[in-house]
Amino acid sequence: MKFQAIPGSTAGRIVAIVYMVTLAITYSLVISLNRIATIAEIPFIPYVFWQVVGAGLFLLSICALRRRWPPLTRDSMISYGLIGMFGFAIAFLVLAAAAPNAPASVISLTLTMTPVLVYVFAVFLRMDRFYWFRAFGIASSLAGVLLVLVPPLLHDATALTADMVPWVLLAFGAPLCYSIANLSAARFRPPNVSGIEMGAGVMVAATIFLLPVMAFDGSWWFFDEPIADGSWTIFIALVVNALFMVLMYEVLRLAGPVIFSTYNYIGTLCGMGWAALLFGDAPSALIWGSVALLFLGLYLVNRPPKTAPVKEGA
């Protein structure tokens, strides 16, 4: 008998948490891969473009083996377009524009706003209800990330200058894009469609959006350097992106967009772990305090609301 976790159930929440941790560990690796690709002088826009194309082809090949293709219904097309445009094309371009003009730690700080924006929008759109314990959980998780990111900024007074402020404000467009993508994935997902088919559709849509960007930029880089010089990062990143799409839809199905968005906090810390492993960036004592706040927030956000007992004879 095939196990199928039920959305909203205890088993469903446990599976969703396992998927989120898996997402955080794998997707946060992309941050270190970006650094390796930058050192190898791979142009950023083609680097993103070939990741998306490769992930799309990878998922489409699985669809072909399963003989189940991305649906072309109205809701699915809306989902492909919104997630491909906001979750990949626009968000990546915003980060690409801001990255050379502001400290990476400050830009990373802006991304922690994604869960906050998702919860606010979800409550506003009546996709979720307001609960004080969830709001406190998000605040606790955000405090955990700030505990790691803010002290380095306070230690270095030159970390942020007046000319960097507009670029930091621009970077806030990325979490806005990610929150729109998360909610779109939850709102417009057709029933009985797997994350593999939906992910393939999203990657095809993202490719269509990025094609004119590549043409306008004129950077038609295509593995000009040997694989050993950094091009191999694209192959790992495309597999990670494909896995991200599949598990994202599963977490959204099981737990909803608000709980899914909390993976950003776990991913931030996992990204630091990858940096320590690959580049020797040793974690400090603040990391452990951050972990405590993070898991307190994760518990509160994933805690199911109490329901009033049903009275007999009612």
For every residue of 121-138, DSSP letters joined together read HHHHTTSS---HHHHHHH
CA-based end-to-end distance of the chain: 37
- Most confident range (mean pLDDT) of 65-79, 159-173, 297-311 is 65-79
DSSP assignment string, 224-286? -S-GGGTTHHHHHHHHHHHHHHHHHHHHHHHH-HHHHHTHHHHHHHHHHHHHHHHH-----HH
Phi/psi for 109 (5° steps) reads -60, -40
Do 165 and 110 form a contact (C-beta atoms < 8 A)?
no
Which runs of E-coded beta strand occur in the chain? Answer: none
Pick the residue with more confidence: 182 or 155?
182
Q: pTM for the whole thing? A: 0.76
Length of the chain measured in residues:
314
Give ∠ CA 208-112-109 in degrees, rounded to 5. 100
Residues sharing a CB contact under 8 Å with residue 211, sequence separation 6 or more, in sequence order = 49
Which phi and psi angles does 166 have, rounded to 5°?
-60, -35
Residue with the larger pLDDT of the pair 3 and 128: 128
Of 283, 286, 88, 313, the C-alpha closest to 203 is: 88
Has residue 233 got a pLDDT over 80? yes
**What is the per-residue pLDDT for 195?**
87
Segment 176-207, tens digit of pLDDT: 898 898 888 888 878 788 889 999 999 999 99
pLDDT tens digits, one per residue of 258-284: 777 777 777 777 777 787 777 776 656
